[in-house]
Amino acid sequence: MAYKPFDLTGKVALVTGGNGGIGLGMADAMAQAGANIAIWGTNEDKNAKAAAQLKAHGVKVYTRKVNVANEQEVIDGIGATVQELGRIDSVFANAGVGYGAPSFLEMSTEIYRKTLAVNLDGVFWTLREASRHMVDRAKSGDAGGSLVGVASLAAIEGAARNQAYAATKGGVISMIKSCAVEFARFGIRANAILPGWIATDMTAGAQANKAFAEKVIPRVPARRWGEPEDFGGVAVYLTSNASSYHSGDTFIIDGGYAIF
C-alpha cells in the first residue's frame, strides 16, 4: 500500500482564532488534505466566510463563537465540537491578541491583564479541555492526538514594548513542553509554532510603516513577509500520522529571521 502520511481523511482539527490570518491558513491546508475542521472565533461574520472557504474543499466544517478568555465558553466549545464532529484529533491554540505600548513604562495593568487573558489563559483552557477529550479517547482504546500552541518569536527574542505579549508566548512554549511529557503515554504529542513577521491583521500597523518595511523586512533572509499559507505545511504535518513521534518541539516559521 502506498505511503500516505499526510492524508488527513477522517481526522478532525480544531483551530481557535481560525477565521483569518495564520489560523485560516492552517485550517485551509488541513481541509485540502481531507480533515474536517472546527473554527472558533469571536466574529461570526468572519466565521461564516471562513466556513464557506473551507467547505469548498469538500469537508465538514463547524464554526462556533468562542471567546477563549472565558473558561466556560471553552469548556462548552470543546463539548459542542466533539458532539458535532465526533472527535478532535488536533487542536491549534492559535487565538491571540497583540496589545503593546509606546514603552514598558507606559504599559498599563489593563493591557497586561487583557493580553494574558487571551494569550495564556485561553491557551491553558483550550489545551486542558482538548487533553481531557484525548485522554478519555485513549482510555477507551483510541489513543493519539496533537496539541499545538501558537507562540511567537517574541518568546525567544527581546520584544521591546511588548513585555506582556512576550511573556504570554514564552508561557505557551513552557505549557506545551509540560503537556508533551505528561500525555506522551496516551499517544498525545504537543508542539509549539513560533511565527516571525507574518502579514496578518495583527501586523497591519507594521506593514504600513515605511521605516519598518525598509529596515526590518530586508533582514528577513527570505526577503519577504510571511503569509498565512506558509503555515499550512506544518499544520498538516502536526495533525498527520507522520508526526506521531515528534513532540515537545518548537517550529520556527520566520523565513530565517531568528538566525540572521
Catalytic residues, by residue number, are: 165
Whether residue 225 contacts residue 251, with contact meaning beta carbons closer than 8 Å, is answered with: no
CA neighbor of 194 nearest in space, from 148, 240, 229, 145: 148
Query: CB atoms < 10 A from the CB of 218, how many?
Result: 10
* Whole-number Å distance between alpha carbons of 86 and 185: 23
Three-state SS string over 66-101 comes to CCCCCHHHHHHHHHHHHHHHCCCCEEEECCCCCCCC
What are 211-217's contacts with CB under 8 Å, separation 24+?
none
